[in-house]
Amino acid sequence: MNVQVKKVYRNDYLNIISALFKKLGLPQLIDHLVPVDPQCQTRVSDAVQAIIYNMFDGRQALVHVERWAQEIDLEKLIRPGLHPSWLNDDALARHLDRLYEADIHKVISTCLIHIYRKEGLSLRAFHADTTDKTVYGAYESASLEALQITHGYNRHHRWQKQIGFGLVGNEDGIPFYGDVHDGNLPDKTWNPEVLSRVHEQLKQAKIEDEWIYVADSAAMTKDTLAQTKAANAFLITRGPSSLRIVKRAFAEADSAHIPWSDPFTLAERNGATYRVWETSSTYEGHPVRLIVVESSALDQRKGKTLEKERTKEAELLREEQAHWERHPFSCREDAEQALASLKTSLRPRFHQVKAAVEEIVRPKKRRGRPKKGAEPEMETRYLLRLDVEFDQNAWEQARRKASRFVLVTTVPEEWKGQQMDAQEILKLYKGQISVEMNFAFLKDPFFTDEIYVKKPERVAVLGYLFLLALAIYRVFQRRVRQFITPEHPLKGAGGRKLTRPTGQAIFQLFQYVNVVLLELPDGRIQRSLDRSLTPEQRRILQGLGLDESIYV
């Protein structure tokens, strides 16, 4: 039998992403939202899949996607009969334009709602945040409504040309809402607007139930509180330390009679220990609960600030000490007066200072050489002596206060039959890391590099496709974590035991899966793996409801 090897494809984990994309029914949904153009050889769903799979394979500029498509099993990943040359940059650009004209925000929002329904995801609490992304190039648009790509300061205070991403998702980081907005849109403006949009999205999904909106301190505004109420939601946010009600809560928390909770932890192991105390107040006419939280894990920036303050204070005290030792007084009265003034002016935070007047008798200095055998004339001087000692108790107290923050919430103490005490509110707020970790994906050059397109409309569409890819990535990660447990860990690269593997850790396990395209004597094409799958690879596929058929 004369069997020829026609092609070898490095398919690795892309087949899993493709299978998941199709299981979620997204190609059909996208083609329904943006109907197929009979004059085009490709569909919008073809272009969307090609761009997203290219992202997962190390994103390249659109001009290189056609060449990349020649190196992957395109017919297996997207659909039979699809030719790589059909995915040239002109064709992809036209599909980006069609997505924009079909209202790309609505298209992606519909896809995200669809994913939530398919996965049966909870709509109880959402975490919201924004970030920025640097872009390059000169962009021209005839539309004033197009995405405004402007210069501005990013989160690290660097001047750059940028766009903004806004995300609202659940505790697994799966976006329910996402947007690509102007590069300089402030969070205080974004929060009220997005509350209204999420509310509309929930109504679109025919969900009228109450929900919780978790955001950072920029959400603590009159407009956000009002819009939260209008959106049938409750707010959990971090209170800025400059607010009067927050200052008052901090002051009350220092009182000796305050009934702090017993220490508790939220993490499974090696986590911070917390104590909480709750009070109430009103802000802009809205009743709110204030939860003062004390953490055993001092914020890194605050810790550095305290260290700088301590070092600077110790240096100033040494200089003060040296100054008074160099400048004695001629009379006790002047020395006592200087001592009183010094005690009033010295207010060290981290040191104890004991100051006193010390009388010293010493030979009086005169000009010239003293006469031989003459008794030296003595004089009395008065020195201010400073005894400086590091105050460990004051230091620990300052660190403890620096580790405190205040959560502000409108969530009632009992909600949907569950006690929403201070500990539960803190637990919900700490889930904010789920949306923050998504930004690492959106900023990772491997996934989202090379945004080289001519129009801001196309930049916006690419940004929304990044958000859809993020949703697929998080769904994939969530599904795997459902069957990988501490009792049944996964053996990762290098033999490491993984109990909560990331999507990228799973990708590494499938990195060297190759498919060989064989041409049989009768002309038929047959796919075959170049080697058997490992037990760990089979376990992952089975857990996802897949098998080798996604490759062959």
The reply to whether 290 and 393 lie within a common domain is: yes
Look at residue 372 and tell me whether its pLDDT is greater than 80.
no
pLDDT digits (tens, 9 = 90+) for 457-481: 888 898 899 999 999 999 999 999 9
What are the residues facing 362 on neighbouring strands?
379
Q: What is the mean pLDDT of residues 212-230?
A: 94
496 within some domain: yes
Confirm if 429 and 310 have CB atoms less than 8 A apart: no
pLDDT at 140: 56
* DSSP type of residue 365: P
Helices (H), 143-182: none
Question: Residue 136 and residue 133: Cα distance in Å, rounded?
Answer: 10
458 within some domain: no
- The closest of 520, 292, 314 to 422, measured between CA atoms, is 292
Please, which residues have CB within 8 angstroms of residue 103's CB and are 6 or more apart in sequence? none
The reply to whether 322 and 261 lie within a common domain is: yes
Q: What is the CA radius of gyration of the chain?
A: 33
Question: Residue 318 and residue 309: Cα distance in Å, rounded?
Answer: 14
Confirm if 161 and 136 have CB atoms less than 8 A apart: yes
Most confident of 145-159, 314-328, 364-378: 314-328
The reply to whether 403 and 255 lie within a common domain is: yes
pLDDT at 137: 58
The reply to whether 160 and 299 lie within a common domain is: no
The reply to whether 255 and 400 lie within a common domain is: yes
pLDDT at 136: 61
Question: Residue 454 and residue 466: Cα distance in Å, rounded?
Answer: 18
Question: Residue 280 and residue 252: Cα distance in Å, rounded?
Answer: 12
Tokens 């109907």 locate to: 35
pLDDT at 470: 94
Question: Residue 14 and residue 11: Cα distance in Å, rounded?
Answer: 6
Tokens 């599904």 locate to: 479
Question: Residue 132 and residue 366: Cα distance in Å, rounded?
Answer: 73
The reply to whether 28 and 150 lie within a common domain is: no
* DSSP type of residue 79: -
The reply to whether 294 and 315 lie within a common domain is: yes
The reply to whether 212 and 268 lie within a common domain is: no
- The closest of 54, 57, 119, 26 to 544, measured between CA atoms, is 119
The reply to whether 89 and 145 lie within a common domain is: no
Cβ count within 10 A of residue 326: 8
Which domain does 167 fall in, by range?
109-240+416-440
- What 3 state SS string does 194-225 have? HHHHHHHHHHHCCCCCCEEEECCHHHCCHHHH
472 within some domain: no
Confidence class of residue 485 from pLDDT cuts 50, 70 and 90? Answer: confident
Q: Which two tokens stand for residue 514?
A: 């190759």
pLDDT at 118: 93
Confidence class of residue 403 from pLDDT cuts 50, 70 and 90? Answer: confident
Tokens 């690879």 locate to: 537
The reply to whether 272 and 381 lie within a common domain is: yes
474 within some domain: no
pLDDT at 282: 95
Question: Residue 338 and residue 342: Cα distance in Å, rounded?
Answer: 6
Angle at 447 between CA 446 and CA 449, to 5 degrees: 75
The reply to whether 306 and 422 lie within a common domain is: no
Question: Residue 240 and residue 219: Cα distance in Å, rounded?
Answer: 10
Count up the domains in the chain and report the number: 3
Helices (H), 205-331: 222-230, 244-253, 300-326
Strands 211-214 and 233-238: parallel
Please, which residues have CB within 8 angstroms of residue 413's CB and are 6 or more apart in sequence? 289, 419, 420, 421
Confirm if 65 and 87 have CB atoms less than 8 A apart: yes
- CATH classification of the domain holding 172: 3.30.420
455 within some domain: no
The reply to whether 303 and 224 lie within a common domain is: no
Look at residue 4 and tell me whether its pLDDT is greater than 60.
yes
Question: Residue 9 and residue 391: Cα distance in Å, rounded?
Answer: 67
